[in-house]
Structure 1
Amino acid sequence: MTVPCKRLLNVGFLTLLAPVGLTVALVVLHLLGAVNAWVFPLVQVGAFCLFGGTGCIVAAQVLSRRPVPVSRPINHQRRRQLCWGLAILLFSLNFPAYLLAHHMTHVRSPGQIGLGVPKPSHSQIPSDRGVFYGTRTLPIGQSRWLETWEIPTQTAVPRGTVILFPGNLGTKSSQLIPPAQSFASLGFNTVLVDFQGVGGSSGNTVTLGIAEAQDVVTVFNDVKHRNVVQGNGDSPIILYGVSMGTAAILRAIATQNITPDAIVLELPFIRLIDAVKSRLRYHKIPTDPTATLLIFWASIQHGINGFSHNPINYAKAVECPTLVIHGAQDKWTPVSDIEALVQTIPATKQLVVSADAGHHQLIGVDRPLWDASVSNFLKAI
């Protein structure tokens, strides 16, 4: 084995052993009170070291299979340069992508230092707008929960229940109160949901609708069960989602077989990789291979497959009336993608496109159009 290959092999073994030393250092620093070891992403760093170290070892073994002729020392120099060049290239591409993937899919509690965005909190509550509401907490296992707000309709006989889900890093207060008020005025009880990782719910991760689909199932089943207990088993349940919330709804329908009576999808996207690329493109960051690396490392960190997260495929399973609302000026998802999504839905569907709206809820841009579109759609429910 040549010297460069031996060095690459040593780098691989050192990388594999790095988590052990890091763990010891964290334990010592934690006991000394210097850091809070519980908030350090040790599992994710360990996964990166495992893949990086294994890659270095495999590369060293492959490159060492060919003996270097003594009569041609120039090959030795080229091979050494190739080994180091390959190692530097792999590291420079993957390590920043790994950190960015962690930052984009994790949230930090107030005062917590590290990667991730600050966990979104509530800036207002419905009573600040003069709206009566109640808070409900749904337990998930022993240590997790979902927080919901319930705004009842003032009509004597409710027409059903609308469950509302926010977009990426959105909360009940930031995105769901205005549409809930409109649904309530139309005669529907409303349930506003914080996905895990935001607002009053537990958790510190965001997976762009993948894990959030289970949150949709949890709330849907809870509302359905309460309807049955109250003797309203036939009461319609409508799901409303914004951006990431639409992906979670469609995934829940396709993979968990929930059966809402209607769905309202506002500002959806059709493929996760396209959504990531559009954001990279907006910030003038090369999309290839950045988008692929981001999704790859996020998938490793969360134990998911982000490459198969395509709401346009989930839409094939929709069997209930569907209203899709979008903005012609949306910089993330073009109208052509939305039209393709609508065509994929086999059930009755309607598409409303606002010429003036971008990636913002239509209710905040053109409320009369939003109210009229939703009201007309729900007349048949």
Structure 2
Amino acid sequence: MKPLKFLKLGRKHRKILFLVVLFFFLALNVLSYFGAYALTHYSSPGRFGIGIPKSTNSKLPSDIGLEYVTQRIPINQTEWLETWFIPTQLPVSNGTVLLFPGNAGSKDKQLLAPAKEFHRLGYAAMLIDFRGLGGSSGNTTTLGVREAKDVALSLSHAQRSNFQRPFILYGVSMGSAAILKAVADEKINPDVVILELPFARLLDAVRSRLSASWIPTFPFAEMVVFWGSIQHGINGFTHNPVTYAKQVRCPALLLHGKLDKWTNLAEIDQIFQNLHGFKELSIFPNADHSLLVTVDKERWQRSVEQFLKEKK
């Protein structure tokens, strides 16, 4: 009788263990699902909602002395990209720079400062809000996957509008990732790319952010990327700018902050090594994951101006 009693007790323990494991599995998926949702959705300003508050453009180019025209690039009948076009101050433009922001960024918060510097150098500038950001339609992001199509659409618009070449694509963080993906997958051919603060792999970028919040990276990072992929119909596990970089043949300038806690220098070096053709790397020793022109303006100016002269 004792062995039977022990067997029954063992089965009960196994059932409890199974229920505990099932509970934690379900809890992990629920937390990961909402974590992915919060990471890839913007909530309307002033309204309660899950996600990052959608950025708004509260400052205009005219506020810093630049003339501009607001334009909309239609995506389809219900979606659009909002842009600001700032013409050059010279009789003949040195070219046109298309500027793209990072995650949760917008034209005024991340693009006005570098646009002013490009304007000083004699370039026209087109500042673009990705879908979901600023004045553009929508309230979601795919952290550079779908945004690659926005890059391609913006370049096509600049070409159709007969803006002055060369066409230079400048991106910040997610904007850089979108540019690299557009080159690799959308087969665009810009004349120059300037990549500021890119991440190497989406999964690693999620891991670094979880780690900074003292959240175990495994298996949470994998689950967040999985549910984000399901929600948006993409494959986040293959969203790797370090791989896209292999398709870049045009001159490329890579700008990065040495203290960036999201992307380490080894990853930046991998991206740089994968770039083909003329390329330069500039590391800002006192900068983290912040808009570099606002951290070390002199170094940013020197790096960009020297690169644009040498690539000719």
TM-score relative to the length of structure 1: 0.78
Structure 1 segments of 4 or more deviating over 3 A?
69-72
Taking the aligned partners of 1:116 and 1:327, their CA distance within structure 2 comes to 27
Residue 74 of structure 1 and its aligned partner are, at CA, apart by 3.5
Equivalent AA in structure 1 for residue 182 of structure 2:
A
Match for residue 135 of structure 1 among 48, 54, 70: 70
Within 2, Cα distance between the matches of 1:323 and 1:376?
Answer: 10
- Cα deviation for residue 251 of structure 1 reads 0.3
C-alpha distance in structure 2 between counterparts of 1:320 and 1:90, whole Å: 47
Q: CA RMSD in A?
A: 1.6
Matches of 2:118 and 2:6 in 1, distance apart?
82
* 2:106 pairs with 1:176: no
Q: Are residue 327 (structure 1) and residue 262 (structure 2) matched?
A: no
Question: Aligned partners of 2:247, 2:6: CA distance in 1, in Å?
Answer: 66
Identify the match of residue 314 of structure 1 among 244, 247, 264. Answer: 244
* CA distance in 2 between partners of 1:155 and 1:317 (Å): 33
Residue 352 of structure 1 aligns to a residue whose secondary structure is: strand
SS at match of 2:255: strand
| Counterpart among 222, 227, 233 of residue 292 in structure 1 | 222
Deviation by residue 1:73-128 (Cα, 9 ceiling, x = unmatched): 33542442243123202112111111111111101113433211211111211111
Offset at residue 205 of structure 1 (A): 0.4
User: SS at 1:196's partner residue?
Assistant: coil
Where does residue 153 of structure 2 map in the other structure? 218
| 2:197 maps to which of 267, 272, 282 | 267
Counterpart in 2 of 1:197? 132
- Runs of 5+ unmatched residues, structure 1: 1-68
Task: Establish whether residue 118 from structure 1 lines up as the match of residue 53 from structure 2.
Answer: yes
Separation (CA, whole Å) in 2 of partners of 1:78 and 1:371: 67
Whether the 8 Å contact between 2:170 and 2:176 is mirrored in structure 1 is: yes
Partner amino acid for 1:199?
G
Q: TM-score, normalised to structure 2's length?
A: 0.95
2:122 corresponds to 1:187 = yes
Choose 72-81 or 160-169, whichever is displaced more.
72-81
The letter of the residue matching 2:51 is G
The CA distance in 2 between the partners of 1:76 and 1:327, in whole Å, is 57
Tell me the amino acid that sits aligned with residue 253 of structure 1. Answer: V
CA contact (8 A) 2:52 2:104 kept: no
Other structure's SS at 1:89 match: helix
Which sits farther off after the overlay, 85-94 or 138-147?
A: 85-94
SS at match of 2:171: strand
Higher helix share: 1
- Report deviation, 1:258: 0.1
Letter in 1 for 2:78: S
Q: Which is further off, 165-174 or 352-361?
A: 352-361
Q: Deviations over 1:344-381 (max 9, x none)?
A: 11221100001111111221111111111111111134
Aligned partners of 2:265 and 2:8: how far apart in 1? 59
- Provide the residue aligned with 1:155 in structure 2: 90
DSSP 3-state at the match of 1:269: coil
Structure index of larger Rg: 1
2:43 match: 108
Cα distance in structure 2, aligned partners of 1:302 and 1:248: 16
Task: Count residues in correspondence.
Answer: 308
